[in-house]
Amino acid sequence: MIDFRSDTVTQPSPEMRHAMAQALVGDDVYGDDPTVNALEAFACDKLGFEAALFTSSGTQANLLALMSHCERGEEYICGQQAHNYKYEAGGAAVLGSIQPQPIDNAADGSLPLEAIEAAIKADDFHFARTRLVSLENTIGGKVLSLDYQAQVAALCQARGLKLHLDGARVFNAAVALGVDIKLIAKHYDSMSVCLSKGLGAPIGSLLMGDSAFIAKARRLRKMLGGGMRQAGIIAAAAHIALDKMPERLHFDHDNAQLLAERLRAIPALEVTTTPTNILYARCRRDRAQELKAFLQNRGILINAGAPIRFVTHLGITSQDVETLAAAIADFYRCH
């Protein structure tokens, strides 16, 4: 099957499977797994943080960040569309007793500075204490500019708030901006990164920050059941993902542009692109479910949303893009 549903469907490469089979392992809860330790050290070096923690998922990394920055009854400011508000089962509230303070994302995915400023609560016992601002980059495939991120960092500094980045796809942002990942990372007190999306690892995310922050997150990871034992088996693949895969993400971005070009030739669709690996197409008449079934018969998987979200990744070639575009054109010719 050609799978456009998400970059989470990527399969580990033969090199990753080999590294997993060969990995030196130990008990990571004792701090004894050399492959996990090497991954965490490598991440610090590559992204410019003092400490890093390997986690089972991006959701866990974000939850650990929120719980490490905020105590019970405190709050974080985030976007209405933020993954760590909308798509993580309310974990911060359920497990951390942390109050989200969502504000509307602008069309470009950013949180307007004035809106952040207005949402910061005064020191008054009626209010939850505002502790943290959480941004997301990329968000829905859109990229936050370096300037904007610097401005939010300055605002947080001035107001005594911490700043977290949900950087599940932050390497896509760095590639789209054409900058070293450190130029994004330097604005944040903490950052999560998914290794299991476009970077192709089978399992795992990283949380990064200063040493005291990561020490706290490590304790909470144990509390949440995320202390893994011979985790070097998966860290071995994650290391290759972090080391070698960012440099190929531009292929995915090019394929998304190619798909956009092809779909724009189909009058029944309204196409919206992003600078990265995600694009959207709205059916002028809602035929998404029919289209999904039609494509499935031809060995192509999509998510039938409104709009439909297409995601390109290392399992998608430019030929696959042509195959999809031709199949969609066929659908609209005969329906």
Ligand X SMILES: *Cc1c(COP(=O)(O)O)cnc(C)c1O
Minimum distance between the CB of residue 136 and ligand X, rounded to whole angstroms?
5
Select 58 or 232, whichever has its Cβ closest to ligand X. Answer: 58
Query: Residue 3, interface with ligand X (CB under 6 A)?
Result: no
Judged by CB under 6 A, the residue of 205, 273, 276, 277 near ligand X is 205
Minimum distance between the CB of residue 56 and ligand X, rounded to whole angstroms?
8
Site size for ligand X, by CB under 6 A?
A: 11
Judged by CB under 6 A, the residue of 46, 83, 164, 187 near ligand X is 83
Judged by CB under 6 A, the residue of 16, 47, 64, 168 near ligand X is 168
Minimum distance between the CB of residue 122 and ligand X, rounded to whole angstroms?
30
Query: Residue 7, interface with ligand X (CB under 6 A)?
Result: no
Minimum distance between the CB of residue 8 and ligand X, rounded to whole angstroms?
6
Kindly write down the DSSP assignment for every residue of 22-55, as one continuous string: H-----GGGT--HHHHHHHHHHHHHHT-SEEEEE
- Is the N-terminal amide bond of 307 cis, ω within 30° of 0? yes
Hey, what are 139's tokens? 């968000």
Element (H, E) at 281: strand 278-283
Select 99 or 277, whichever has its Cβ closest to ligand X. Answer: 277
Phi/psi of residue 127, nearest 5 degrees: -105, 150
| Strand-strand pairing, 205-209 and 51-55 | antiparallel
Angstrom distance (rounded) from CA 214 to CA 191: 11
Judged by CB under 6 A, the residue of 3, 75, 166, 189 near ligand X is 166
Residue nearest to ligand X (CB): 58
Nearest to 98, CA basis, from 68, 126, 137: 68
Nearest to 165, CA basis, from 94, 83, 223: 83
Select 136 or 252, whichever has its Cβ closest to ligand X. Answer: 136
Select 57 or 257, whichever has its Cβ closest to ligand X. Answer: 57
Q: List alpha helices for the chain, DSSP H.
A: 14-22, 34-47, 58-69, 83-86, 91-96, 113-119, 146-159, 170-177, 181-185, 211-223, 232-244, 249-264, 288-297, 318-334
Select 191 or 259, whichever has its Cβ closest to ligand X. Answer: 191
Select 205 or 277, whichever has its Cβ closest to ligand X. Answer: 205
Minimum distance between the CB of residue 84 and ligand X, rounded to whole angstroms?
6
Minimum distance between the CB of residue 62 and ligand X, rounded to whole angstroms?
6
Cβ pair 56, 233 in contact under 8 A: no
Identify residues 51-80 at the interface with ligand X (CB under 6 A). Answer: 57-59, 62
Angstrom distance (rounded) from CA 85 to CA 100: 7
Query: Residue 194, interface with ligand X (CB under 6 A)?
Result: yes
Select 168 or 191, whichever has its Cβ closest to ligand X. Answer: 168
From the centroid of its chain, how far is CA 167?
5
Minimum distance between the CB of residue 197 and ligand X, rounded to whole angstroms?
6
Cβ pair 284, 258 in contact under 8 A: no
Hey, what are 222's tokens? 């144990």
Identify residues 136-165 at the interface with ligand X (CB under 6 A). Answer: 136
Select 166 or 252, whichever has its Cβ closest to ligand X. Answer: 166
Select 59 or 130, whichever has its Cβ closest to ligand X. Answer: 59
Hey, what are 165's tokens? 């980045």
Minimum distance between the CB of residue 70 and ligand X, rounded to whole angstroms?
18
Contact set with ligand X (CB under 6 A): 57-59, 62, 83, 136, 166, 168, 194, 196, 205
